[in-house]
Amino acid sequence: MTEAELETLRVPPSLSAKVEGSFAYLTIRDRLPTILTKAVDSIHRNKDKFFEQYGEEGLRAEKAAIGLLSKLRNELQTDKPVLPLVDELEDAEGWNLYLQRHEALQGEQDPVSWFRSPWLYVECYMYRRIQEALWLNPPISGFDAFQEAKTQSYFESQRAVMALCTHLEGLRKTVAGLPEDQLLEHFDRLLQVSLWGNKCDLSISAGQDNSQKTSPIDSLAELRPFILVDDTRSVWSALVSARDRGGPGRVDIILDNAGFELTTDLVLADFLVASGLARSVRFHGKAMPWFVSDVTAQDFTWTVRQTVASNHRFMSASGVQWQRYVREGVWTYLDHPFWTQPHPFCDMAADAPDLHAGLQGAALVLFKGDLNYRKLTGDREWAPTAAFATALRGFAPAPLCSLRTLKANVQVGLQPGQAEQLGQRQPDWMTCGQYAVVQFHSPPRRGP
Ligand SMILES: O=P(O)(O)OC[C@@]1(O)O[C@H](CO)[C@@H](O)[C@@H]1O
Ligand SMILES: [Mn+2]
């Protein structure tokens, strides 16, 4: 039996649109074409700007990029074979090798295509093809077709951002002298705020407004019953044991969405440093526009600057502190290409050894959001009671925690009967975005 055949015996199949009516099927059939159409609309809306900036060349580029995205949408809707990338971005070769890997796995008779190959792969591939369409058409190569949606989502969430920054500024004054039990309470609260910030995601809403309208602190009590796995105490212990062993450790936050969710992550990171639970924070964003609302370097910088420039005194004070953290190197922003590739995270040690080695230096790695959870678990049809450690398939560079609202039908680590009970209460519990997990895993101890 070949390794590939053995492999399929060991792990459940990948989620895919092969299953008509499945969430993957409905996403690829309905949501992805809508997202592509909105990307085309965004490019078209900027046609005059391109003309002002680049003259006729800008018009040509706009027309050509839209042509490529329309072709992509047709390929997707008619289940055409996945095509090799033709741009010269540095990761193109890796993507094309991944395509060959899947072609070998599926065999001649079953071409790699949108509705017959792993959902995780083809959905990531779509966003990489959007990047190709723009890259092939300088001078608009750097245009982010999702920028307007992300900034609108930020502006729609201003009341919640003000409430959060007001809470943080009040906390900043007292956090140094807090007893441990009160520190834990504040940690628990801000971890949940970051968790629920993940509801604000423009991919699940296919670009519809999904911003945070109410104060995030006030709604925590009513949301707590919707947390299906709550390993907050284990997350706390990982930080406190590092601090008490040899001083506060470094926390890596693998970011998800811009807008309100990013602000909740910045507030959490500020609290971790100000409270002495972390000595530094590394933020990992995306190297290209991704899943509509994911954070790019431009989004990160823009969000900090917007916070500084606010005429709300506590927002501005928070933004100034965040700029200071970045200037002093306490906070660092990174965007390794691996995060915008299709790999499940169990491939990281082999496919991105530099990134994997870097994460090993963290006291804690926080993975935000649903796509990261799908990559942590390989986006496979695991039984809901499968252990999180099993689904990780050896991925454990450091103590890690997923902070995720459920928006795809993959979930592990539940108690026996819990999934059945949820299904009776709410058949779409895995994809409606109302439930969440704080799911922790620590690498097995190395050596004696
Ligand atoms: O990672 P996020 O922002 O929490 O969610 C990403 C997402 O909205 O996009 C995909 C569906 O299109 C799913 O992975 C998930 O529903
Ligand atoms: Mn996202």
Which residues of 47-173 form beta strands (DSSP E)?
none
**Ligand 1 atom 8, closest CA:** 204
Q: Which atom of ligand 1 lies closest to the CA of 202? A: 8
Query: Which candidate, 311, 382, 379, places its Cα nearest to that of 342?
Result: 379
Domain boundary assignment for the chain:
3-135, 147-441
Q: Relative to the alpha carbon of 205, which ligand is closest?
A: 1
What pLDDT is attached to residue 353?
A: 98
Residue of 35, 371, 374, 439 to test ligand 1 pocket, by largest number of atoms within 8 Å of CB: 371
Inter-CA distances, 186 with 128, 189, 193, 203, 283, Å: 39, 5, 11, 30, 21
Q: Is the CB of 207 under 6 A from ligand 1?
A: no
Q: Which atom of ligand 1 lies closest to the CA of 407? A: 16
What pLDDT is attached to residue 256?
A: 98
pTM of this structure: 0.95
CA–CA distance, 217 with 348 (Å, rounded to integer): 35
Whether 228 and 421 have beta carbons less than 8 Å apart is answered as no
Q: Is the CB of 204 under 6 A from ligand 1?
A: yes
DSSP 8-state class, residue 399:
S
Q: Is the CB of 371 under 6 A from ligand 1?
A: yes
Whether 235 and 438 have beta carbons less than 8 Å apart is answered as yes
Inter-CA distances, 227 with 61, 161, 417, 434, Å: 47, 23, 16, 9
Q: Is the CB of 205 under 6 A from ligand 1?
A: no
3-state SS class at 14: strand
Q: Is the CB of 261 under 6 A from ligand 1?
A: no
Q: Is the CB of 150 under 6 A from ligand 1?
A: no
Interval between CA 49 and ligand 1 midpoint (Å)? 31
DSSP 8-state class, residue 29:
I
pLDDT by residue for the chain (448 residues), tens only, comes to 555 555 555 799 999 999 899 999 999 999 999 999 999 999 999 999 999 999 999 999 999 999 999 999 999 999 999 999 999 999 999 999 999 999 998 888 889 999 999 999 999 999 999 999 999 999 999 999 999 999 998 999 999 999 999 999 999 989 988 999 999 999 999 999 999 999 876 666 666 666 666 678 888 999 999 999 999 999 999 999 999 999 999 999 999 999 999 999 999 999 999 999 999 999 999 999 999 999 999 999 999 999 999 999 999 999 999 999 999 999 999 999 999 999 999 999 999 999 999 999 999 999 999 999 999 999 999 999 999 999 999 999 999 999 999 999 999 999 999 999 999 999 999 999 999 999 999 998 766 5
Helical ranges in 136-198 per DSSP H: 147-156, 158-174, 180-196
CATH architecture under which domain 3-135 falls:
Up-down Bundle (1.20)
88-93-95 Cα angle (round to 5):
110
Interval between CA 136 and ligand 1 midpoint (Å)? 27
Interval between CA 118 and ligand 1 midpoint (Å)? 15
Q: Which long-range contacts (CB under 8 A, 24 or more apart) does 341-344 make?
A: 341/91, 341/94, 341/95, 341/98, 341/124, 342/95, 342/98, 342/120, 342/121, 342/124, 342/125, 343/98, 343/375, 344/120, 344/375, 344/376, 344/377, 344/378, 344/379, 344/393
Torsion over CA of 394, 399, 405 and 409, rounded to 10 degrees? 10
Q: What is the CATH number of domain 147-441?
A: 3.40.50.10880
Q: Is the CB of 369 under 6 A from ligand 1?
A: yes
265: tokens are 């992550």
Q: Is the CB of 263 under 6 A from ligand 1?
A: no
What pLDDT is attached to residue 207?
A: 66
CA–CA distance, 376 with 389 (Å, rounded to integer): 10
Interval between CA 282 and ligand 1 midpoint (Å)? 23
What pLDDT is attached to residue 216?
A: 80
Query: Which candidate, 261, 151, 268, places its Cα nearest to that of 198?
Result: 261
Q: Is the CB of 257 under 6 A from ligand 1?
A: yes
Q: Which atom of ligand 1 lies closest to the CA of 294? A: 3
**Ligand 1 atom 3, closest CA:** 201
Q: Does 3-135 match 147-441 in CATH topology?
A: no
Query: Which candidate, 17, 36, 223, places its Cα nearest to that of 117?
Result: 17
List the strands of the sheet with 227-230, edge to edge.
227-230, 436-441, 400-405, 364-368, 249-254, 278-284, 331-334
